[in-house]
Structure 1
Amino acid sequence: MTDETSAPGLDELPDVSRRRFLAGAGGTLTGIAAVRAVDNVLLGYGELGHGTNLIEQELRPLVTEHLELEYDERVAGTRLRLADGALVVPTADGERRLGLGDDESGAAADLDADLGLSGRLEALYADASELSAGEDEMALSQPEAFFERVGAAEPRPDVVAAMRGQTDRAVDPDLVERFAGVPPTRPAALVDALVGAFREHASYDVTRYVAGSIQDNVIFGAANLRGQFDGPVTFEAMLESDETGLFCYELTVRSMEALHAVAPWAQRTPVATAYVRDARHKHVYTGLVSAIREDGDLVLPMTFVDYTHSTLYDDLEVTPLMGRGLAAYDDRHRATHVYW
């Protein structure tokens, strides 16, 4: 197979222009679209004996497979770290390592009191220990029920921070608020507001999708058609041009960045997000998780949202028929990998 980076570009092909490419793609696209539509809508989710979906899947192994707890924060002036299976706490003699599997809860409580950390060290140690040992309960639901449950329980923001990946506090919170009209301190409202923001400032990149479909399914990588339609897809780019085209993975990463723009303890409902990949349908969407205590037990509520569907339905003017398209914990989504 020819590597995409080494394939000739559209401008290197004889007698082919961007305009002519798009015009000439129509007939080919019709066939591709018909096949892909059947594949994406009817197959691979449990119907006709093929595949499965989020409702039927055993999700915990997928959710935890790539989950690595990472934490390096200053709490009331004291640096706390999760490293190599231990919570590392500075002491007068150097540092104290509390192994997550070593039942050091008493020592964690004592250190917390000595350092004046208001229970945060003790809570982080308890939560990280139980999560690492698989002693938590995972609770899956639709977005509305997810936020209701988290909002009604005791939040555990520090272990939520430990679940966040590379997108944690990677963008300016003010930029997110300017884009969505809602601050990232209000995740429930932001999840909803991003639907309208993506619709207003962007669209699903159909042109790039057409080029990629022809590249992958018709000319089998003989030319790099998809790359000719790449462009900036940052929040700044979307605000500068309301014609920015995004793919599913770009919509997913932007949503993750937005929801991670402030620390979990600054949010009304602390959330971490996940990059959920469906290799069967070449699709990506967003997972949301939190951590709470209910009757003393650690619970991880989780839900899924799909900004590709919500954006594309609006682009195609089929929202009245298809619905809003945001909620993704259903039998039309599946997961093969979950990354943090």
Structure 2
Amino acid sequence: MNRRKLLKLLGGGAVTVGSGKALYNTQVGYGVVTGTNVTEQDLRPLIAQYMRVDDYRAELDEYAVELSGDTVAVLDGDDVLAERSVTDTTPEEGAAVDAEFDLAGGPVEELVRDVPALRAGEFVVEGAKFDEFFDRIADADASPFSTGATRDGYDYADAETVGAFIGADPADPERVVTALRAAFREHSSYDKPRYVAGSIEDNILFGTVDLRKHFESPVGFEALESGEATGLFCTELTRRANESLHAVPAHEATAPVVSMFVSDTRHKHAYTGVATILREDGKLVMAITFLDYMHSTLYDDLKLTGVLGDGLDAYNSRHRATDIYWHR
């Protein structure tokens, strides 16, 4: 049974379920009637819960720096040239190692200074709307190696593949964010038929029949470019965004960022977090913003951007976070 026939069979029940679900998702649980949203939530515990800062390697001009457990090492290929304890080494001692091997950017100093605090959850979280985020971090004292170390666990997309898909330099995360919005709109759409089928499967059939399988298609970058992907869900849009923002190492990007998978189980929704680690007045600060590629794609699909806005900014009263995953 193809998508068109199944949708016709589902008929009016889909409209009823879809309308009820839309009301539930947009009006309830964000703090309007009850609940909360990301502008009100204490985000630090959610961020710290699943954050790992480990198993990190930064390739530099001549050497590499690795973080593993309590050890920061300088390597030439596989040969270890120097090792220091993260917990027992002062930033000044780390800076001496950087100077000895002429390591640009001071990676050892930065890691021994920041990693213990990150692992202990000793940092301040500052939320920002998307149009303020990159201005906020542009002139700040960013920590590119510490930011890169928080990416532990992610699969990286090939930078050339990402660049071809978005038509922009993947080393520029601000450009990646907006280019992804345009690329998703051009090459795909929000998978509304699969959403309707899933709503009926969950709320009428209570999972006894798998309707979603009739609407599934490949969702990788190649499938999107070729037109093989028939539509994306919020989870798939979020994963492609995570991969795109991690295609270039943080210390090689124009602004060091880490991307997160934000889950709202209350509304069965997922969207993207983007953050960077800063040092300000001796304190560790995580500046963070949130992006919703489902909204930006769906609003364009329905020709509603003039009424509802662009839809990309998710640091607002229409988004909440149940979990913030760094490795999903």
Normalising by structure 2, we get a TM-score of: 0.91
Structure 2 Cα separation of the partners of residues 224 and 150 of structure 1: 45
1:146 maps to which residue? Answer: 133
Report the Cα offset of residue 27 of structure 1.
0.8
Contact 1:60/1:138 (8 A) holds in 2: yes
Unaligned runs of 5+ in 1: 1-10, 12-16
Report the Cα offset of residue 76 of structure 1.
4.4
Report the Cα offset of residue 194 of structure 1.
1.1
Q: Residues 46 and 77 from structure 1, CA distance in 2 versus in 1: closer, same or farther, beyond 3 angstroms? A: same
Select between 17-26 and 210-219 the one with higher mean Cα deviation. Answer: 17-26
Alignment of 1:174 with 2:160, yes or no, is yes
Select between 33-42 and 110-119 the one with higher mean Cα deviation. Answer: 110-119
1:247 maps to which residue? Answer: 233
Structure 2 Cα separation of the partners of residues 39 and 307 of structure 1: 20
Alignment of 1:265 with 2:248, yes or no, is no
Report the Cα offset of residue 89 of structure 1.
4.7
Give CA deviations for 1:25-66 in whole Å, capped at 9, x if unaligned: 221111111211111111011122x21111111110001100
Please provide the CA RMSD for this pair: 2.1
Alignment of 1:124 with 2:132, yes or no, is no
Contact 2:71/2:83 (8 A) holds in 1: no
Contact 1:157/1:265 (8 A) holds in 2: yes
Report the Cα offset of residue 90 of structure 1.
6.0
Unaligned runs of 5+ in 2: none
1:295-334 → structure 2 map (5 Å cutoff): 295-334=281-320
1:7 maps to which residue? Answer: none
1:57 maps to which residue? Answer: 41
Contact 1:141/1:301 (8 A) holds in 2: yes
Give CA deviations for 1:72-116 in whole Å, capped at 9, x if unaligned: 23444444332224434569998634133x353343223222232
1:134 maps to which residue? Answer: 121
Q: Residues 93 and 322 from structure 1, CA distance in 2 versus in 1: closer, same or farther, beyond 3 angstroms? A: closer
Choose which of 254, 261, 285 in structure 2 pairs with 1:275.
261
Structure 1 Cα separation of the partners of residues 199 and 322 of structure 2: 22
Alignment of 1:39 with 2:14, yes or no, is no
Choose which of 217, 224, 228 in structure 1 pairs with 2:203.
217
Q: Residues 241 and 18 from structure 1, CA distance in 2 versus in 1: closer, same or farther, beyond 3 angstroms? A: closer
Choose which of 143, 146, 163 in structure 1 pairs with 2:150.
163
Alignment of 1:29 with 2:10, yes or no, is no
Contact 1:201/1:242 (8 A) holds in 2: no
Structure 2 Cα separation of the partners of residues 178 and 103 of structure 1: 43
Contact 1:201/1:244 (8 A) holds in 2: no
Contact 2:14/2:197 (8 A) holds in 1: no
Question: Which amino acid letter does the alignment assign opposite residue 149 of structure 1?
Answer: R
1:5 maps to which residue? Answer: none
1:72 maps to which residue? Answer: 57
Contact 1:285/1:307 (8 A) holds in 2: yes
Larger radius of gyration: 1
Report the Cα offset of residue 237 of structure 1.
0.6
Question: Which amino acid letter does the alignment assign opposite residue 69 of structure 1?
Answer: V
SS in 1 for 2:261: strand
Structure 2 Cα separation of the partners of residues 22 and 38 of structure 1: 21
Question: Which amino acid letter does the alignment assign opposite residue 151 of structure 1?
Answer: A
Question: Which amino acid letter does the alignment assign opposite residue 66 of structure 1?
Answer: Y
SS in 1 for 2:205: coil
Contact 2:98/2:108 (8 A) holds in 1: yes
SS in 2 for 1:309: helix
Contact 2:3/2:193 (8 A) holds in 1: no
Q: Residues 126 and 31 from structure 1, CA distance in 2 versus in 1: closer, same or farther, beyond 3 angstroms? A: same
Question: Which amino acid letter does the alignment assign opposite residue 21 of structure 1?
Answer: L
Q: Residues 322 and 123 from structure 1, CA distance in 2 versus in 1: closer, same or farther, beyond 3 angstroms? A: same
SS in 2 for 1:273: strand
Structure 2 Cα separation of the partners of residues 304 and 76 of structure 1: 33
Aligned length: 322
Q: Residues 93 and 56 from structure 1, CA distance in 2 versus in 1: closer, same or farther, beyond 3 angstroms? A: closer
Identity %: 42
Report the Cα offset of residue 324 of structure 1.
0.3
Contact 1:81/1:89 (8 A) holds in 2: yes
Give CA deviations for 1:122-160 in whole Å, capped at 9, x if unaligned: 112212133223333221101121100111112211111
Structure 2 Cα separation of the partners of residues 307 and 207 of structure 1: 18
Give CA deviations for 1:261-288 in whole Å, capped at 9, x if unaligned: 1111221111110000000000000000
1:82 maps to which residue? Answer: 67
SS in 2 for 1:208: helix
